[in-house]
Structure 1
Amino acid sequence: MLNNKVSKAVRLAIAFSAASTAAFSASSVAADENEVEKVERIEVTGSRIKRTDLEGASPVEVITTAQFEEQGRISVADALRSVTSNSFGSFVPSSGSSAQSQSTVSLLGAGSDRTLVLVDGKRVAGSPSLGGSAANLSSIPMAAVERIEILKDGASAIYGSDAIAGVINIILKKDFEGASFDVQFGRPSNEGADTKQMSVSFGVSSEKGNITFVYDHQEQGAIFDKDREYTAASWEDTNGDGLVSIYDETVGVSYYGATILGPDGFVASAKCDELASSVPGFVGVLDQGSLLGGVGGGEVCGYAYANVSANMASTNKDSIMVSSNYNITDDIELYARAMLSRNDSFGRYAPPAAKWNNMAAGNEHNPYDEEVTGYFRWYGIGNRDGLVTDYQQDYMIGLKGIAGDSIDWEFAYHKAKLDYRSVGRYYLSYSGLAYNEKYGIDLGSEEGINNLRSTTYTENQNEMDHYFFGVGFALGELAGGEIQHYFGGEYFDQQFDSQYDAQSEAGLIGGSAGNSAMGERDTTAFFYEISMPFTDNLIVSAALRRDDYSDFGSVTNPSVKLEYRPTDDILLRASYSEGFRAPSLDELLAATSFSATSATDYVACEAQGISASECKSRQFDNLIQSNDELGPEESEYINAGIVYSGIENFAVKLDYFSLEVENVISSITVQSLINAEVGGQLDDLMAKYPGVKLERDENGAVLGDVITRSENGAYMSRKGLDLNLEYKLETGFGDFTFGNTTTYLLESAGDVYFSGPSQDFIGMPGTPDWRSQFNINYSMDNLSVAWTTDLISSVYEDQYLDLGDGNPENFRYKGENHDPTYVTHNINIKYYTESFGTFTLGARNLFDKGVVKDDDGFWNDDTLYYAGHIGREVFAGYSISF
């Protein structure tokens, strides 16, 4: 707790560091030995042992909120979405599910449940809407954030489960003095997604402590499908055969309109043309095409759901953070934090699409003299609205202090309670349908429609109690200095509860899916870390952690790290770590739920003489099971790199990483079952994993529901390079700062089908091999200008399963056509005044880069390109501090 020159330099390094923090690390700051006797140590993500150097054996990217603001990012989720190591696989608020309010991060594209998110070094409770595993970034107030540290290394030996692909540590404001006010408004060039942001901060300090208060409000409007030409409903005979094929040649159109599945296959209702002329949304008779599979020919009655549906959900969030610290004595500090948030989200979908089972022979839609199944759009009920409200409470209280000359200790209690509620209006009640049919009530009458309407309700809760203790101390000495140790322990108690309304659980609601799940687990962990300075320029550290879970057993993970400085300007580093991901309570205990799952039916296409490259995806009725016998995933992470800062105002970092994950917890998906079936492996797969099922009738059509479940056994790997460059140029007409961060994936491997052969998917749709970000900042007097360019490499537009020589071990996905490299620009101009605050004007996606479309003009719906979906967004802001 000394306040000397070097400790100030370390603090400034954290406050203002960009990607190349080596240029400003404590090791590069000269200190007068006569004035400095001791150097303040700081804790950097990836180690609990405090250190004087910001750069260590594991690469850590430190980004301040000031830098995110320069890039025009207004939320934690938006900020992390632009980070290059967040390669692909993030989730953005999307209309259509109870998770529509959620935002996640996926380092290296390994999955949000393999990226650990911390707040002030403590684990964030998982979102109950995401099964209690992945963290919802939407719950964290941006105005309360001081900086974000991104650890690009495995860290289960330090933090436990989920730290497989890396760690996001969000550091909140502390010791804030004064008051500040900030407001910003944004308006895209395209309709929808308007943003509003306002925050207020207060801080009071005394000799004994500080209290900081932050209020943050954020809004973002919805985007409706009809407001984008590439998502608006359309249907066109693109191949010139005189027919419009459902899904093959349509956008935003479903065969759930008035379609009948009878003894001859699919046919359109006799009333389809009448509905098309009198009921908005119906588009008339369309060709079945190859999509529905198994039954040759056939027609369907289409419904244009995109005329009313929202694509991106709206969000409206209010957050409060209060933190305080109090020095009980010179050596003991009491600290506390409370973080409360509420996020309301709205999504809209077309009227419920649901089967009409056992449609009577005399029904006006049924052309047969027997009962049939109808694929029906229940338009009389009205459009469905999804209203999601997320409540989050997060509390922390603890004591920390120093004892003697070299002992740091800490005790903390952390409580989090997440209560996410979802209401769905205007769904189909099968009970009401049966009542109408039994008593002959007209389905189109006011009474009949009221009987058909149902409201769904879901409560998702996750509650976590977390106890932590740790002690760091020096014991022993080597040529390079004292040996540092850290020993600690944690105890977690987690209670997960997801409850659906009784009618949904009973399967009596049409147009909705899901089922209840609940469970409880506790985890006890002990960990030890050591840092050994063998010489002045060689440090070797190691860590070991053991986690004992109440449900599936114990896991022990080690790590070894090395940092070597041959000169003051060069750091060589390497690390090896083992990691794990515990199965979530949702994966272990959830009741069987229904999903309409998209997959490509290569079996049906082959039977119809359609090549794999021309085979289109379709939706399957899918029952998804949990598995209470799941074990943990196991991973190995290797990192090796160099940091160079020998040129004035210039720094470069280059790191190689290799992540391999075995026993991956993965659903044996509908696509996996089809791929295994193509290779003649389906029977063996279903025999090995009882309960999994895919069956066909004599015509080749899939019978009933496909049953899938989660199992251990899949494989994943990520290998690549991280490059960071930073240069500062001082001139007589202002200062320029240039920065670049690039993540280049050399391999992104996974299974072709579950437990089958693996392949490298780099360059396939949604899997770019590199992402890069360039920053140019200019400042002079009261003016600063920040220019950010985000780049995503080109990928294949389409992929299909290549059967090769017919041997399933040689099955591989192949890509066709290329989407170009995707480039967007952002500009942020700030003007500072001494008495009247700071004025901001800028634009996100300055040149209005559009979304990526395929050769047929259809949108490749991918969150990588959501900047184009929103369009150019001009924003203006104002802030003032007192």
Structure 2
Amino acid sequence: MYSWENQMLNNQVTKAVRLAIAFGAASTAAFSASTIAAEEGVEKVERIQVTGSRIKRVDLEGASPVEVITTAEFEQQGRISVADALRNVTSNSFGSFVPSSGSSAQSQSTVSLLGAGSDRTLVLLDGKRMAGSPSLGGASANLSSIPMAAVERIEILKDGASAVYGSDAIAGVINIILKKDYEGASFDVQFGRPSEEGADTKQMSLSFGVNSDKGNITFVYDHQEQGAIFDKDRSYTSASMEDINGDGMVSIYDETVGISYYGATILGPDGFKSSSKCDDLTANQPGFVGTLDQGSLLGGIGGGEVCGFAYANVSANMASTNRDSIMTSASYELTDDIELYARGMFSRNDSFGRFAPPAAKWENMSADNEHNPYDTEATGYFRWYQIGNRDGEVTDYQQDYTIGLTGVAGDSIEWEVSYHKASLDYRSAGRYYLSYSGLAYNEQNGIDLGSEEGVNNLRSTTYTEQQNNFDHYFAGIGFALGELAGGEIQHYFGGEYYEQSFDSKYDAQSEAGLIGGSAGNSASGERDTTALFYEISLPILENLVVSAAYRYDDYSDFGSKGTPSIKAEYRPMDDLLFRASYSKGFRAPSLSELLGATAFSATDATDYVACRDQGIATSDCKERQYDNLQESNNNLGPEESTYLNLGVVYSGIENFSVKVDYFELEVEDVIADITVQSLINIEYGGNLDEFMSQYPGVKLERDDSGAVIGDVITRSDNGGFMSRKGFDIDLSYKLDTSFGEFNLKNVTTWITDAGEDVYFGGPTQNFIGDSGTPEWRSQFVVNYAIDNFAVSWTADVIADTAEDSYLDTKDGNPENFRQKFENHNPTYVVHNLNVKYFTEKVGTFTLGARNLFEKGVVLDDAGNWVNDSLYNAGHIGREVFAGYSISF
């Protein structure tokens, strides 16, 4: 092991590099590390480990592109959390999840590199796999659980890495490096207030650390709050209705926003009719909006009218979050050659969401019911206003512990053994749902539904407990053996063993289908995985290094998989690097995908078949909701991928560097949903019966009028295809002047191909330009510092996307189906400003604004909000924030 003096000196070098990175010169810093060491008179700089390889190296830049971003940079950009920071990284192209009220995962935030899906982006914590959220089926990591104050930097690997890390590392890897050697104490506080109502933020953190000649200990406490946003507080999400076509009647969904036909609507032999009490409810009960025309949404069931309810008058669309986290890490030199390290992290995140009173069917409504306009039994589509608004309260507990030993032997051998345990316990309570048992009791005993007794009988509380327990054992050894013209051959050999236990328990009434306005079924399962892996780095010449890796994973439930990779880096001169990599990857099906119980969902889809039968063009066909039973599939196999990267890095111009990488990702046997929309599209082409015979259990049926009847049964299966092709471009420049220092940085991810199936089993199409699928994202950062002032300006830019998307059916042959994109929205730009004033004695003061020029959301021609996750900054509005920090 290197002496403590050398390690301290290397820490100085590392801090110098980090300082350069923090001021927007990541590439320059990467090439200057060796220069700094030379000026210090150090003969050998300690090798560092960079995400994407377990073999340590001197250079930060290697065969795979890695973007390194420190928390100092994120703070300069005005980001409020790890999730917010990664949501704005350009390679997180589209598809991230934000806390959404009403969702079973309303407390969750995810990252999706290249828009390939959060379950195809591996998230590491200090180089070790982060346990998946039980609310996301154990398949994706919840970024909301990570304390921002505990993060030292984030390394983003833009390459496939299953040969190193195993499953899920298909589109890339996010490695979150936590603080370990902090010395001193610091206190930070910040408050933010948006110009629009809701989403206020509060943050506070405490950090301290102690170092000695034998080790160190670091402690961090982090608190973050963000308020909810209610639909009524935004013009584009609040309830509205207008007779746009001037026919004297407002059509549900066609001419409304935030209004549902689940109000007081009755379905009988002649189709939909308003309840006989609709006018009375409209006059006396908030939320009811009267009788509306059925419109095209419910077309195919027969003519008629509905009694609407404005759910958006009370619902929240963005959930509130309130998180407290503690992280502590320590290291201690047991001997000159062996070091003990440990880390513990605990996080609690409380989330609140609200939605309108439960919307649920009233089956077998008697002919003499006061609401029933028919003289026979009917089905009511009711908003159970008597019960009150539904509140969703979610509490996430996460514990994460690691303990390990590292050591050296001889001149070149380094080894590590560790044990990592994560326990995630997520609990969700839903207040004021409909109890069908209580409804039946009231009807049987003649109890008035609006009475105190009747309401109490109707009310039910749902409860869900979800756990994911993860145990991880790791052992690895790196060593030099053999020599080539360029130096010693480096090897790394290791093994891992994982145990995962997933359990999702719903309350018995929900499982029995006796709750209106909610659904869910319990699921549980276990798996263990054994993996062996090997890496080799071959310095063919002093300026040419070829490396290779192979990993073998054996799963207890679905089988085994081997994945190789090969990489090369060539430096014809010190300032120029050419690199290339080719790797295979895979994603194992999650336990929830394999073992989840059948669950009910109200699924949106566009019925092109019904529209065709009614003479409605596909471009005018509207979405509606379908009762959908989603089944699991215990016969799923792994997805398989290939990733190719070709790049160049150049820093031959003083204070300027450029990185350009071309990537190709292809994923086969994609685990995709056979959705309601897929079944409709297949039916449109005349192949539904044949398809359902190939996939037994999948079902979509219609009655004689052409209306979809009963529950549509869907599931997931292997068979989809996905591709991503494009370029990553990274430019940085440093300018010293007599009036201050400027650091400029621009990162752009340009995707030329986002190929996916139009529907399950259908043709593949490039979806670039579709709503929520921008061709490119770019981020411009300018940092300016002079004396005690520092100013940071960031512009997040998203390419234009289509406002309208519909199925172009052409000749009716499903092999020719394509999504057609029309009416593009303009490029979307959000500016952020951050000003800091430093003092030596009283601390640092911060004042800034997120979304400085109050860029709004993207709306379609009808005034509807387009893609809530991609344009979330506009939804929040301009947020002015102020902060204070002090260090000792």
The answer to whether 1:21 aligns with 2:22 is no
- Residue in 2 aligned with 1:243? 249
What's the CA shift for 1:39? 2.4
2:366 and 2:760 map into 1 onto residues whose CA distance is 41
- 2:83 is matched with which residue: 66, 77, 86? 77
Greater displacement, 797-806 / 544-553: 797-806
Q: State TM-score, norm by structure 1.
A: 0.99
- 2:165 is matched with which residue: 159, 180, 183? 159
- Residue in 2 aligned with 1:136? 142
Does the aligned pair in 1 maintain the 2:275–2:372 contact within 8 Å?
Answer: yes
Distance 1:392 1:15, change over 3 A: farther
- 2:885 is matched with which residue: 865, 879, 882? 879
The answer to whether 1:455 aligns with 2:457 is no
Could you list the per-position Cα deviations for residues 176-204 of structure 1 after superposition, in whole angstroms to 9, with x for gaps in the alignment? 11100000000000000000000000111
- The SS at the match of 1:695 is strand
- Residue in 2 aligned with 1:843? 849
- Residue in 1 aligned with 2:270? 264
- The SS at the match of 2:386 is helix
- 1:566 is matched with which residue: 559, 567, 572? 572
1:449 and 1:4 map into 2 onto residues whose CA distance is 69
Could you list the per-position Cα deviations for residues 145-166 of structure 1 after superposition, in whole angstroms to 9, with x for gaps in the alignment? 0000000000000000000000
Distance 1:213 1:28, change over 3 A: closer
* Structure 2 unmatched ranges of 5 or more: none
- The SS at the match of 1:29 is helix
1:313 and 1:8 map into 2 onto residues whose CA distance is 43
- Residue in 2 aligned with 1:800? 806
- Residue in 2 aligned with 1:325? 331
- Residue in 2 aligned with 1:831? 837
What's the CA shift for 1:683? 1.4
Q: Which amino acid aligns with 1:771?
A: R
- Residue in 2 aligned with 1:170? 176
Q: Which amino acid aligns with 1:879?
A: S
What's the CA shift for 1:523? 0.3
- The SS at the match of 2:74 is helix
1:423 and 1:209 map into 2 onto residues whose CA distance is 44
- Residue in 2 aligned with 1:118? 124
- Residue in 2 aligned with 1:710? 716
Tell me the matched-pair count: 882
What's the CA shift for 1:599? 0.8
Could you list the per-position Cα deviations for residues 515-535 of structure 1 after superposition, in whole angstroms to 9, with x for gaps in the alignment? 110000000000000000000
- Residue in 2 aligned with 1:672? 678
Q: Which amino acid aligns with 2:16?
A: L
- 1:746 is matched with which residue: 749, 752, 770? 752
What's the CA shift for 1:109? 0.4
- Residue in 1 aligned with 2:706? 700
What's the CA shift for 1:439? 1.0
Q: Which amino acid aligns with 1:29?
A: S
Distance 1:27 1:545, change over 3 A: farther
Could you list the per-position Cα deviations for residues 193-220 of structure 1 after superposition, in whole angstroms to 9, with x for gaps in the alignment? 0000000001111111111000000000
The answer to whether 1:308 aligns with 2:301 is no
- Residue in 2 aligned with 1:615? 621
Q: Which amino acid aligns with 2:599?
A: S
Could you list the per-position Cα deviations for residues 688-720 of structure 1 after superposition, in whole angstroms to 9, with x for gaps in the alignment? 111111111111100111000010000101111
Does the aligned pair in 2 maintain the 1:193–1:222 contact within 8 Å?
Answer: yes
What's the CA shift for 1:239? 2.1
What's the CA shift for 1:121? 0.1
Does the aligned pair in 2 maintain the 1:9–1:26 contact within 8 Å?
Answer: no
2:456 and 2:569 map into 1 onto residues whose CA distance is 70
- Residue in 1 aligned with 2:797? 791
Q: Which amino acid aligns with 1:399?
A: L
Does the aligned pair in 2 maintain the 1:515–1:591 contact within 8 Å?
Answer: yes
What's the CA shift for 1:37? 3.3
2:33 and 2:326 map into 1 onto residues whose CA distance is 38
Does the aligned pair in 1 maintain the 2:772–2:867 contact within 8 Å?
Answer: no
- Residue in 2 aligned with 1:281? 287
Greater displacement, 1-10 / 205-214: 1-10
- The SS at the match of 1:343 is strand
- 2:514 is matched with which residue: 508, 521, 524? 508
- The SS at the match of 1:193 is coil
1:549 and 1:11 map into 2 onto residues whose CA distance is 41
- The SS at the match of 2:592 is helix
- The SS at the match of 1:647 is coil
1:26 and 1:566 map into 2 onto residues whose CA distance is 15
- Residue in 1 aligned with 2:155? 149
- Residue in 1 aligned with 2:16? 12
- The SS at the match of 1:694 is strand
- 1:723 is matched with which residue: 713, 720, 729? 729
The answer to whether 1:188 aligns with 2:194 is yes
Instruction: Output aligned runs, 1:278-427, within 5 Å.
Output: 278-427=284-433
Instruction: Output aligned runs, 1:572-651, within 5 Å.
Output: 572-651=578-657
2:15 and 2:618 map into 1 onto residues whose CA distance is 58
Q: CA RMSD in A?
A: 1.2
2:342 and 2:31 map into 1 onto residues whose CA distance is 29
2:865 and 2:472 map into 1 onto residues whose CA distance is 44
Q: State TM-score, norm by structure 2.
A: 0.98
What's the CA shift for 1:458? 0.1
1:838 and 1:561 map into 2 onto residues whose CA distance is 45
Greater displacement, 685-694 / 834-843: 685-694
- Residue in 2 aligned with 1:655? 661
What's the CA shift for 1:273? 1.1
What's the CA shift for 1:15? 5.1
Could you list the per-position Cα deviations for residues 812-845 of structure 1 after superposition, in whole angstroms to 9, with x for gaps in the alignment? 1101111111101000000000100000000000
What's the CA shift for 1:860? 1.5
Could you list the per-position Cα deviations for residues 495-524 of structure 1 after superposition, in whole angstroms to 9, with x for gaps in the alignment? 000000000000000000111100000000
- Residue in 1 aligned with 2:450? 444
1:9 and 1:341 map into 2 onto residues whose CA distance is 33
- The SS at the match of 1:450 is helix
What's the CA shift for 1:247? 1.0
2:243 and 2:387 map into 1 onto residues whose CA distance is 31
Greater displacement, 20-29 / 635-644: 20-29
Does the aligned pair in 2 maintain the 1:10–1:25 contact within 8 Å?
Answer: no
Distance 1:99 1:770, change over 3 A: same
- Residue in 1 aligned with 2:529? 523
1:34 and 1:63 map into 2 onto residues whose CA distance is 25
What's the CA shift for 1:16? 3.6
2:371 and 2:158 map into 1 onto residues whose CA distance is 59
Does the aligned pair in 2 maintain the 1:6–1:26 contact within 8 Å?
Answer: no
Could you list the per-position Cα deviations for residues 554-590 of structure 1 after superposition, in whole angstroms to 9, with x for gaps in the alignment? 0000000010011111100000000000000000001
Could you list the per-position Cα deviations for residues 237-295 of structure 1 after superposition, in whole angstroms to 9, with x for gaps in the alignment? 12222221111111110000000110111111111111111100000001111101312
What's the CA shift for 1:34? 11
1:238 and 1:669 map into 2 onto residues whose CA distance is 32
Instruction: Output aligned runs, 1:459-478, within 5 Å.
Output: 459-478=465-484
Q: Percent identity, aligned pairs only?
A: 76
1:482 and 1:423 map into 2 onto residues whose CA distance is 59
- The SS at the match of 1:25 is helix
* Structure 1 unmatched ranges of 5 or more: none
What's the CA shift for 1:76? 0.3
2:40 and 2:293 map into 1 onto residues whose CA distance is 86
1:47 and 1:340 map into 2 onto residues whose CA distance is 28
Q: Which amino acid aligns with 1:491?
A: Y
